[in-house]
Amino acid sequence: MDIWKGVVSLATAAGAICLLYKAIRAGIKCQPPRCSGSPICVARLAVEREQHGRDSGELRRLLNSLECKQDEYAKSMILHSITRCVYLLESEASACTNDDITLVGSMLDDKDNSVKIQALNTLKAFSGIRKFRLKIQEHSIKVLELISTIWDSQLHIAGLRLLNNLPLPDFAHPQLRRVMPALMEILQSDYILAQVQAARLLSNLAQKNDLLYDILNCQVHSNFLNLFQSTQPGSLLLEVLVFAERLSEGRSSPHYRAVKWHYNEQSVHEAVFGDDSRLADRLLALVIHPEEDVQIQACKVIVSLQCPQDVEVWPSCLSSHSCFNNAE
C-alpha cells in the first residue's frame, strides 16, 4: 500500500512539473517580441548595432527594395524609411554611392506626388553628406521644374528645403530665371512654411549679380507689402526682412548701379523701393515688434535703405535715429 502511495505521489509530482513546464513555455511564447517591425523599433535596433560597430544592413536593404517594382504607397514608405536611416545611421549613409543618389533621384519622375515629396526629403537627408552634394546638384533643374509646375504646398516645402541646403550651380541660373514668377507666387501664398523657404531661397539668389534684376523686375501682387505686416508670423517676417535687406544691398552696389535699369509697374522693385511704396510704414511698425530678432532685422533694413553701404554707420544711425527720421 505504501509503495502505491509513493508511486502516486511521484506521478502527481511529475504531472505538476510537466504542467509547470508547459505553462512557462506557453508564457514565453506569449511574451511580446523584443522589437516590432515598426520604423521606430527598426531604427532603434539599427542605431544600437551601429553604436556597437556593426552594420545593421537596414539602409542597404531598403535601397535594394526600392529597385524592385513597387506600388506608389510602398515606394513612398520605403523612401520615408531611407530618409530616417540616413539621418540616424551616419556610417551606413556615408557608405552609400552616387548610384544610390541616382536611384533616389529617379523617383522624382514618378507620377505620384507623394513619392516625389518623399524622394525630395531623402535627397535633402543625403545632402548633409558632403560627398553627395555635387551629385544631388544634378537634380536641381528637375527640382525647380517640379516646384514651378505642381501647385502642392508639401512638394514646395520639400523642394525648397532641398534647394536651400545646396549651393546652386551656375548652370541652374537660366532655369532659375524661368521659375522666378513661380517662386514669387509661393512667397505670396498662404502656406507659411513654403513662404519661409521661398523667401530664404530668394534671399540667397538676390546675392547673385546675374539674377538680381530678374528678382527685382519680377511681377508681384498689389498687396505684396502685406508680407511685412506685423500680424505675420515672426518666422516669415524675419525671412522677408532679410530678403528686403539683400535686395537693398544689391541694388546699391556699384556693379548694379553702373546700369540704368527699367522695371515693370507691378515689379518687386516698385513695391519695395518705388516712390509710392509704403515699406517705410511697415518697417517702423516692426521696430516695436514683440520678437527681438524681427526688431533688429527691421532696423537693419532701415539702415540699408537710408545709410550709405560703404560706411559703417549702423550704431550711429540707431543712436541718432537719423535713418528713422528719414524713413518717416
Q: pTM of the full predicted structure? A: 0.79
Q: What are the chain's domains? A: 57-167 (1.25.10.10), 171-307 (1.25.10)
Query: Which residue carries 551606413 as its cell?
Result: 92
**Could you tell me which residues come within 8 angstroms of residue 45 by beta carbon, excluding any fewer than 6 positions away?**
35, 56
Question: What cell was used for 269?
Answer: 522693385
User: Which of left, alpha, beta for 100 (phi over 0: left; psi -120 to 50: alpha)?
Assistant: alpha
Residue 183: C-alpha distances to residues 84, 180, 214 (Å):
28, 5, 12
Q: What are the pLDDT tens digits along the chain (328 aa)?
A: 554 445 445 445 555 455 444 444 444 333 333 444 444 455 555 555 555 456 779 999 999 999 888 899 999 999 999 999 999 999 999 999 999 999 999 999 999 999 999 999 999 999 999 999 999 999 999 999 999 999 999 999 999 999 999 998 899 999 999 999 999 999 999 999 999 999 999 999 999 999 999 999 999 999 999 999 999 999 999 999 999 999 999 999 999 999 999 999 999 999 999 999 999 999 999 999 999 999 999 999 999 998 655 444 344 334 433 344 444 4
